[in-house]
Amino acid sequence: MKPGDTLVVEARDLDSLLAALRQRGHTLIGPTRRDGAIVLGEIGGASDLPVGWSDEQDGGRYRLRRREDSAYFGYAASPHAWKRYLHPPTVVRWRAHRDDGGFVAEPDTAPPPRYAFVGVRPCELAAILVQDRVFLGGPFVDPAYLSRRESAFILAVSCGSPGGTCFCTSMGTGPKAGPGFDLALTEVIDGRHDLVVEVGTERGAEVAAGVPHRPAEAADFYAARAVLAAAEGNMGRSLDTAGLKDALYRHYEDPRWDEVAKRCLACSNCTMVCPTCFCATVEDETDLVGRATERRRIWDSCFSQEFSYVHGGSVRTSGGARYRQWITHKLATWHDQFGVSGCVGCGRCITWCPVGIDITAEARAVGPGEAQGGRR
Amino acid sequence: MAATDAASAIVSASDPMRPEPFEVRHVTRETGDTFTLTLAPVAGARFRPFAPGQFNMLYVFGVGEVPISISGDPAKPEILVHTIRAVGATTRAMQKLEKGDWVGVRGPFGTPWPVDQAHGHDVVFIAGGIGLAPIRPALYHVLLHRALYGRVVILYGARTPRDMLYPKELREWRSRFDVVVDVTVDRATMEWQGSVGVVTKMVQRSPFDPQSAMAFICGPEVMIRYAAQALQQRGTTDSSIFVSMERNMKCAVGVCGHCQFGPWFVCKDGPVFRYDRIQRFFGMREV
Amino acid sequence: MTIHTFEKVLGEHPFFKDLPEPHLDTVVGCVANVVFQPGEFIFREGQAADHFFVVREGKVAVEVFVPNKGPVTIETIEGGEVLGWSWLFSPYKARFDARALNSVRALSLDGACLRTKCEKDPTLGYELLKRFTEVVVSRLEATRMQLLDLYGRD
């Protein structure tokens, strides 16, 4: 078994695969049904997955619905992104205690968790690689991110049921998983229920070898490709990225941003659900006696008023300026900062915006092509 | 004192997010709300060489952390000097620090003033208010290597004579035959016999060669805009003008996202920027 | 100073740059050389504004006397600049004090005389008005900047 091999695992043996990961000391994180949504959380085995459930997504709309089959991964995207685990919402960066006028700042010495991410969508995998550039690509490597990232096992799952807000094909991030996974599976349900598994790394090979499997044959490849082809044709949204970066730079002062601002609540849902958004703030929390303090890194959003505060006031006070900051960062300046687009086409920002603001529609309105609605 | 314990707890400073302890050696009151801290490393921390224009993140235990330009002499990095204006919770807490108190230091960060690129050119320093503090290290450097530069001009504008930074040094620099110092205030006091008016007016009548001079500007953004315009009117190209920007900073290493200015992170692509590169965004609102 | 020297000095001064010859001649006819000692008043608020000054060398403080405070300098004028515009506008009275801060050499122009000549020859009036408007505008812009109190605590 080596990287590049493709094998077939029967659906009922998925549990063995997950158990193998648990045995190797990984904490399984995967999708699970809770509170009327498919969210990410710690799972015990295959039965914790949202078996037979799918989701309906549109601008400002999310519902679960039952499928007719018992697909493990028959939904599009969870409101959660894997950044919850690699770039957690709250991280203690260091602790300090005061003694005799001086103080000592000590790093957080808790061992980083070893995760196995079960069910990473291709768009989400692309998002992880984007965040790798942010946290690992500069002159300063973030140790908190690095330690979690190195030990995380990635079990990617190709998308068979894209949602109403998906546009990964436009962004080149799916529906097939790109490089970066340990194992990638495509769920095939056509009479049989199989998982066509592609091995990505040595680590993945080692895990897969211990699970009941058979080598993939022509029919399996064909079936997997059919799933992907169907997914490609089923995108809920589209985005023409040709010339988009330059168009957004040109339209920095477009009055459209003030129009969007009339609807935008600056609730920052989009930044929280976006798998690439990485902005964070720093808080120092001190105990009541003033002897011990913790420096925490906490998720932040460019939509907040205080985000751009310098003495005298915030640089971006108007809603239009803040929306403009988010969309031009995501689709334009991100390219100049990190060499890729900040958007992976997962559609979460559209789904979870309370007023359904659609990034594809906004981009199209100022994009190089004709302005049309955001739907296919 | 637990200094030795502290020393063993401080391992290598490879984590740029963790401050190292420095001790306040001296506090100088500059003006009403501005003061200078002179710091030295303690408990195993080490001084870091810095380039003029760079900044540190300064941390007050239990209060918070702020970016402050280094305003000392880059040729003497073992003495860390920061001129600070009390404008918020953390800087107001710093205002209360006394000799012997500890401050956390992370850095240095950011891009420097291009003092090497200016060899052979006239150098014009234009500073407004506390903007003289981030400029001073470049000034020290240029004066230390005076023969490498053409004319050296310092144009400084302050609110009132009492709000002037480093008045003693300004007089010293002015007394040199190889430096031109022109100082103005927005509002005069009774005793003030110097110029009253805007800094930009000084640019118009200053003795430098606009074609070849390099200008380093630091001050409020409005002042920078008008000063750059005044320089342009005299014939200086935008690629010879360098400005120091300021934005909200939390990490100083380009991962918190707060300091973004258009496509740039002020903490790592700045704070010193070449004016022609950022001019387009400089003129825009709320960027 | 001879008429020729006046012409040369005026013609080279930034304020009179590119003033057509015949107008320059007219202006020269109203010119006199003046020197002020440090501390000497060049004009006082409320005085008849009969002259304006083309500063060649030195520094002049434009002041307002504030009761209980004393004289407050609102702007300083130096060589290459022009001082005094109230001669152009009724009631032709100086609005501020102007005091030499050091030894000031200037050319004094007879405002009353020039006013009459401008009435007779509007083209001269237009040339002078253009130049003075520019001065007033740039002083206004500067004053606004000073008012912004950019270095102040916000």
Please tell me the distance from the alpha carbon of residue B54 to that of residue B81, in angstroms, as a whole number: 12
CATH of the domain at C63: 2.60.120.10
Q: Is residue C90 part of a domain?
A: yes
Interchain contact C154–A (C-beta under 8 A): yes
Q: Which helix H or strand E contains B71, and what residues bound it?
A: none
Q: Which helix H or strand E contains C130, and what residues bound it?
A: helix C122-148
Which pLDDT does position A135 carry in this prediction? 95
Q: Is B48 helix (H, G, I), strand (E, B) or coil?
A: coil
The ipTM is: 0.93
Please tell me the distance from the alpha carbon of residue A199 to that of residue A326, in angstroms, as a whole number: 36
pLDDT (average), residues A159-169: 94
Interchain contact A313–C (C-beta under 8 A): yes
Contact list in A for residue C154 (CB cut-off 8 A) is 311-313
pLDDT (average), residues B219-248: 95
Interchain contact B254–A (C-beta under 8 A): yes
Please tell me the distance from the alpha carbon of residue A235 to that of residue A164, in angstroms, as a whole number: 7
Interchain contact A310–C (C-beta under 8 A): no
Residue range of the domain that includes C48 = 3-148
Outline where chain B has alpha helix (H): 3-9, 89-95, 132-144, 167-175, 199-205, 221-234, 275-282
Put simply, the answer to whether B197 touches C59 (Cβ < 8 Å) is no
User: Tens digits of per-residue pLDDT, A217-272?
Assistant: 999 999 999 999 999 999 999 999 999 999 999 999 999 999 999 999 999 999 99
Is B68:B88 a contact under the CB 8 Å cutoff? no
Which pLDDT does position B17 carry in this prediction? 86
Outline where C14-121 has alpha helix (H): 21-28, 111-120
pLDDT at residue B13 greater than cutoff 70: no
Please tell me the distance from the alpha carbon of residue A57 to that of residue B272, in angstroms, as a whole number: 46
Put simply, the answer to whether B201 touches C142 (Cβ < 8 Å) is yes
Please tell me the distance from the alpha carbon of residue A23 to that of residue B78, in angstroms, as a whole number: 53
Please tell me the least confidently modeled range out of A140-144, B241-245, C74-78: A140-144
Question: How near does any CA of chain A get to the CA of C152, in Å?
Answer: 10
**Percent of chain A whose pLDDT exceeds 90:** 86
- Which of A10-19, A133-142, C8-17, C57-66 has the largest mean confidence? A10-19
Which pLDDT does position C72 carry in this prediction? 86
Predicted confidence band of residue A312 (pLDDT cuts 50, 70, 90): confident
pLDDT at residue A178 greater than cutoff 70: yes
Please tell me the least confidently modeled range out of A281-285, C67-71, C86-90: C67-71
Which pLDDT does position A367 carry in this prediction? 81
* C contact residues 8-27, partner B, Cβ 8 Å cutoff: none
Which pLDDT does position C57 carry in this prediction? 93
Contact list in B for residue A300 (CB cut-off 8 A) is 250, 256-258
Contact list in C for residue B130 (CB cut-off 8 A) is 151
pLDDT at residue C91 greater than cutoff 90: no
Residue to mutate among B11, B57, B61, B269, with most A CBs inside 10 A, is: B61
Please tell me the distance from the alpha carbon of residue A237 to that of residue A247, in angstroms, as a whole number: 20
Please tell me the distance from the alpha carbon of residue C52 to that of residue C108, in angstroms, as a whole number: 6
pLDDT (average), residues B222-228: 92
pLDDT at residue B8 greater than cutoff 70: no
Indicate if the alpha-carbon torsion angle C5, C10, C14, C17 is positive or negative: negative
Predicted confidence band of residue B11 (pLDDT cuts 50, 70, 90): very low
CA C152, chain centre distance (Å): 30
What predicted TM-score, i.e. pTM, was given to this entire model?
Answer: 0.90
Q: How many domains does chain C have?
A: 1
Which pLDDT does position B43 carry in this prediction? 86
pLDDT at residue A370 greater than cutoff 90: no
Query: CA-based angle A139:A140:A142, to the nearest 5?
Result: 145
CA-based nearest residue in chain A for residue C153:
A312
pLDDT at residue C17 greater than cutoff 80: yes
Domains of chain B, start order: 3-109 (2.40.30.10), 123-244 (3.40.50.80)
pLDDT (average), residues A128-143: 93
pLDDT at residue B5 greater than cutoff 70: no
Indicate if the alpha-carbon torsion angle A60, A64, A69, A74 is positive or negative: positive
* A contact residues 134-163, partner B, Cβ 8 Å cutoff: 134-135, 138-140, 142-143
pLDDT (average), residues B93-116: 96
Read off the tokens for A67: 């499928």
Which pLDDT does position B7 carry in this prediction? 30
Is A335:A245 a contact under the CB 8 Å cutoff? yes
Q: Is residue C154 part of a domain?
A: no
- Which of B132-141, C12-21, C81-90, C107-116 has the largest mean confidence? B132-141
pLDDT at residue A374 greater than cutoff 70: no
**Percent of chain A whose pLDDT exceeds 70:** 98
Interchain contact A262–C (C-beta under 8 A): no
Which pLDDT does position A369 carry in this prediction? 62
User: Tens digits of per-residue pLDDT, A318-342?
Assistant: 999 999 999 999 999 999 999 999 9
Q: Is residue C153 part of a domain?
A: no
pLDDT at residue B10 greater than cutoff 60: no
**Cβ density class B7-35: b for 16+ within 10 Å, e for less:** eebbeeeebbbbbbbbbbeebeebbebbb
Which pLDDT does position B4 carry in this prediction? 33
Query: What's the whole-number average pLDDT of chain A?
Result: 93
Indicate if the alpha-carbon torsion angle A214, A217, A222, A223 is positive or negative: negative
Please tell me the distance from the alpha carbon of residue B96 to that of residue A360, in angstroms, as a whole number: 52
